[in-house]
Amino acid sequence: MSDETKQDRSQIETTTASSGSVGKALITGASSGIGAIYADRLARRGLDLILVARNRERLDALANRLADETGRSIEVLVADLNNNADLARVEQALRTDDEISMLVNNAGFGATAPLVNSDIDKMTEMIDLNVTAVVRLTYAVVPEFLKRGGGTIVNMASIVGIAPELLNGVYGATKAFVLAFSLSLHKELAAKHIRIQAVLPGATATEFWSIAGTSVEHLPSQIVMTADDLVDAAIAGLDQGELVTIPSLPEIADWDAYEKARQKMIPKLSLSSPAARYGITSRTHEKHQSTAL
């Protein structure tokens, strides 16, 4: 990032933080790692916060520190998003707190083992957290954003959403869902002033790796980004209006080319006849000929 860009971002942060509250952000998975850093950055930008995670001790410590350092209102909501009752409480907060202007769907976990070496119950838990919770929380807040005339949803996806060969296939599939969900939300909601951003981190130095079954120390250092850099890049991407932010991708032109190719295919993905390479006489064509006779 250039010094000029850094200066511009600094000016944005200073202006926002000094102008009073600009709303409230609800952040899931906020007790440590990426979620805790989002909490720090957003509080310093002037947002009040609702921090959601399972670990009360960590949440309380973070909330107290941020309240002291930023003067923002920091609420704690202890919840396990794989528990239906807890998830419902977070949904209720999103429906009833009319100050919420931003949802950061950060909570999730991954896996590195091949499918055949994975615990199916753990895989189901991962789907519930990475997919179901994201959908339910989004559905809870979008109607409220529509009433208020706008809002922002940040969905934490992963590079394995477009490169599922790299890690456990179920994990990659959950993150492909998050990416597809985000693209669809953007198409549906952009004209209604609801911002959507999908963030696709690569390997990031957090507790994710030890929970997933591979120590981050075993990864080549050149592919591992710090969590601070990841969040700062993601927020810069949001400032720049990116729908999809891949913090380590050197050239945005590469993503643009990927997306252009995808868009080019869309009109051809559903046609009345099979492609000529399959050598199949189209029954639709035969039907049209019969009708004409």
Catalytic residue IDs: 171
d(Cα 54, Cα 77) in Å, to the nearest integer? 9
Contact 73, 102 (CB under 8 A): no
Q: Following CA atoms 206, 172, 157, 2 in sequence, which dihedral angle do they give, to the nearest 10 degrees?
A: 70
Count of CB atoms situated within 10 Å of the CB of 228: 14
Q: What are the counts of helices (DSSP H) followed by strands (DSSP E) for the chain?
A: 11, 9
Enumerate the β-bridge partners of residue 76: 51
Contact 82, 128 (CB under 8 A): yes
The Cα-based distances of 284 to 215, 268, 271, 287 in angstroms read: 55, 16, 10, 5
Tokens at residue 196, please? 């959507």
DSSP helix/strand/coil, 162: coil
Of the candidates 194, 193, 202, the residue with the CA atom closest to the CA atom of residue 233 = 202
Q: Torsions phi, psi of 55, nearest 5?
A: -95, 100
How many whole angstroms from its chain centre is CA 273? Answer: 37
Q: Decide: residue 167, CB within 10 A, 0-12 exposed, 13-18 middle, 19+ buried.
A: buried
Tokens at residue 202, please? 């690569």
Of the candidates 43, 41, 97, 102, the residue with the CA atom closest to the CA atom of residue 71 = 43
